[in-house]
Amino acid sequence: MDIQLTITNFTDHQDALYKVRHQVFVIEQNVPADMELDDRDEHCLHALITLNGEPVATGRIDLEQKGRIGRVAVMQNTRQYGLGRRIMDALEEEARAAGLKSVWLHAQESALGFYEKLGYQVHGDAFMEAGILHKPMDKTL
């Protein structure tokens, strides 16, 4: 099993990043395709994991928005390999390298346990985003 993690920009790996995000968010979670892509992709650093050359996991960090992590997605057939944790570790390392003391995100309610295990804490009320219940979370690095 050949697992590769790359930190990249959106332009260089747009097709691979979108393949994972489209499958997870649009196909699995019914997020409208026009909501999945946004104007922040070009401003973010993206983590991309490939498994045997195929894109299987991704996430991004927006350093301009004080370390906002988002679009964390892992293909369903690879969720048992700890790839989500590897994506998060890589994004947090980018935040540290940029001198940030904390990171934040909007977690889908179904993923709260995943983020809590990584040290994130809820810091606000639940809200709807793209038809899915979310809670704001943050972590001190």
10 falls within a domain = yes
What is the pLDDT, as a whole number, of residue 68?
Answer: 98
Q: What is the pTM of this model?
A: 0.95
Contact criterion met (CB below 8 Å) for 100 and 81 = no
What is the pLDDT, as a whole number, of residue 72?
Answer: 98
Q: Which residue has the tokens 């050949």?
A: 2
pLDDT tens digit string along 78-124? 999 999 999 999 999 999 999 999 999 999 999 999 999 999 999 99
Position 34 confidence tier, pLDDT thresholds 50, 70, 90: confident
pLDDT tens digit string along 54-91? 999 999 999 999 999 999 999 999 999 999 999 999 99
Report how many domains make up the chain.
1
74 falls within a domain = yes
Dist. CA 120–CA 140, nearest whole Å: 8
The residue ranking higher by pLDDT, 130 or 116, is 116
Position 35 confidence tier, pLDDT thresholds 50, 70, 90: confident
131 falls within a domain = no
116 falls within a domain = no
Could you list the residue range(s) of the whole structural domain that residue 37 is in? Answer: 3-100
Position 127 confidence tier, pLDDT thresholds 50, 70, 90: very high
72 falls within a domain = yes
Question: Where are the strands (E) in the chain, listed by range?
Answer: 3-8, 45-51, 54-62, 68-74, 102-108, 121-122, 127-129, 132-140
Question: The domain spanning residue 55 has which CATH number?
Answer: 3.40.630.30
39 falls within a domain = yes
User: How far is C-alpha 101 from the geometric centre of its chain's CA atoms?
Assistant: 19
139 falls within a domain = no
138 falls within a domain = no
Lowest pLDDT segment from 28-32, 46-50, 84-88: 28-32
